[in-house]
């Protein structure tokens, strides 16, 4: 297959933990052709949706591993074969891990699959990209995740589709309503609707002398709608990332445990990721949501669960592939590429 990844610049990926990187390695191991471009490289020209795509070739360590007579058993072995971090800090040193061709205009329908992996924020540029990708779908492109669902499933607001699994929640731009919600629940978190990685999240309690300033900041003086949720003490045990691939749950989650003195468990905010088997409640949530997410054309989703409560439905660029694989041996990237191959063939 020819696979086009629409992602942030590949040179900036942290290869020791990035899930897009794990997808690329697994796809290369199977002999699929790899291409990459930025969302900003999309264009509608001469009546077609096209992009300035670059052919991607992985470093020799990956290519040699994937051409052995006996195939590698998992993406973990490929990552350990030399493409993983090679210094104590976890950052790559030495030669680049990929080479790329000059960019060429390519019709998106010429690819077997287009994988949208651009990170939030879900801003105007991201919105425009989904419209162009939806136009490409009408011209025959196969886009994952489905562009319409990227718009319909706001990663914070989508939990409202599954009210039986969520904690008390308010969505508003009105400081008075948020203060009322705080008075009712006594301990809450507030967060923007379009960010990622724990950015812009605050924990609020009555009597906080900075309450007014925080509400002015997060709502931009009432111009920005935000989400408030009752604080869940179970965050001390981790903000669990549950991956749903083609409607089925990966049997392990990554519990992201907050650093000392921190409310947020996000790895980007300094949290520590610990892989764990799914609990009965995790399975209940995953099995309830899986068919709906699959029907919506969401091949890959990351559910965030704190304790027994669903807190987010991540559809833009869910992560944690490598952490789960490295700690449990379960090959998440292989499960994803299996699902992608089935979807392209029209199976399942």
Whether residue 112 lies in the annotated active site: no
Instruction: State the catalytic residue, choosing from 29, 106, 146, 241.
Output: 241
Q: 341, 330, 301: which is closest to 75 by C-alpha? A: 330
Whether residue 276 lies in the annotated active site: no
Whether residue 194 lies in the annotated active site: no
Whether residue 241 lies in the annotated active site: yes
DSSP codes, 149-193: HHHHS-TTGGGGG-GGG---EEEES-HHHHHHHHHHHSSEEEEES
Whether residue 145 lies in the annotated active site: no
Per DSSP, the three-state class of 303 is strand
The DSSP code for 258 is P
- Distance, CA of 322 to CA of 333 (rounded, Å): 8
Instruction: State the catalytic residue, choosing from 84, 146, 156, 294.
Output: 156
* Tokens linked to 129: 């990209």
Instruction: State the catalytic residue, choosing from 18, 106, 314, 331.
Output: 314
Whether residue 264 lies in the annotated active site: yes
Rg (CA), the chain: 21
Whether residue 2 lies in the annotated active site: no
Whether residue 123 lies in the annotated active site: no
- Distance, CA of 262 to CA of 269 (rounded, Å): 8
Instruction: State the catalytic residue, choosing from 191, 230, 240, 294.
Output: 191
Instruction: State the catalytic residue, choosing from 18, 304, 323, 331.
Output: 304
Instruction: State the catalytic residue, choosing from 18, 26, 155, 312.
Output: 312
- Please list, in sequence order, all residues whose beta carbon lies within 8 angstroms of the beta carbon of residue 147, skipping any fewer than 6 positions away: 116, 130, 131, 133, 134, 137
Place of tokens 């070739």: 57
Task: Determine if residue 251 is left, alpha or beta; phi over 0 gives left, psi from -120 to 50 gives alpha, anything else beta.
Answer: alpha
DSSP codes, 124-161: HHHHHHHHHHHHHHHTT--EES-HHHHHHS-TTGGGGG
Place of tokens 């519990």: 255
Instruction: State the catalytic residue, choosing from 264, 282, 323, 331.
Output: 264
Active site residues: 156, 191, 241, 256, 264, 304, 312, 314
């Amino acid at each position: 297959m020819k696979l086009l990844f629409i992602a942030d610049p590949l040179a900036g990926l942290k290869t020791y933990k990035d899930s897009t990187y794990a997808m690329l390695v697994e796809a290369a191991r199977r002999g699929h052709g790899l291409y990459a471009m930025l969302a900003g490289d999309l264009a509608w020209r001469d009546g077609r949706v096209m992009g300035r795509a670059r052919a991607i070739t992985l470093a020799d360590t990956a290519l040699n591993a994937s051409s052995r007579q006996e195939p590698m058993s998992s993406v973990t072995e490929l990552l350990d074969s030399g493409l993983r971090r090679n210094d104590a800090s976890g950052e790559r040193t030495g030669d680049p891990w990929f080479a790329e061709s000059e960019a060429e205009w390519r019709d998106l329908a010429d690819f077997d699959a287009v994988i949208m992996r651009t990170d939030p924020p879900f801003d105007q540029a991201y919105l425009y990209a989904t419209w162009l990708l939806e136009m490409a779908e009408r011209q025959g492109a196969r886009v994952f995740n489905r562009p319409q669902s990227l718009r319909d499933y706001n990663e914070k607001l989508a939990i409202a589709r599954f009210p039986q699994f969520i904690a008390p929640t308010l969505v508003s731009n009105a400081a008075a309503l948020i203060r009322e919600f705080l008075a009712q629940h006594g301990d809450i978190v507030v967060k923007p609707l379009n960010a990622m990685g724990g950015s812009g999240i605050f924990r609020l309690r009555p009597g906080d002398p900075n309450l007014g300033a925080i509400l002015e900041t997060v709502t931009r003086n009432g111009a920005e709608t935000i989400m408030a949720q009752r604080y869940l003490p179970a965050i001390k045990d981790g903000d669990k990332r549950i991956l749903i691939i083609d409607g089925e749950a990966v049997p392990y989650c990554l519990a992201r445990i907050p650093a000392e003195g921190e409310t947020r468990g996000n790895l980007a905010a300094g949290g520590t990721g610990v892989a764990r088997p799914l609990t009965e409640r995790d399975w209940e949530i995953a099995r309830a949501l899986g068919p709906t997410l699959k029907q919506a054309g969401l091949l890959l989703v990351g559910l965030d669960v704190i304790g027994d409560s669903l807190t987010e439905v991540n559809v833009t660029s869910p992560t944690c592939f490598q952490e789960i694989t490295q700690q449990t041996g379960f090959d998440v990237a292989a499960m994803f590429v299996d699902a992608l191959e089935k979807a392209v063939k029209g199976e399942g």
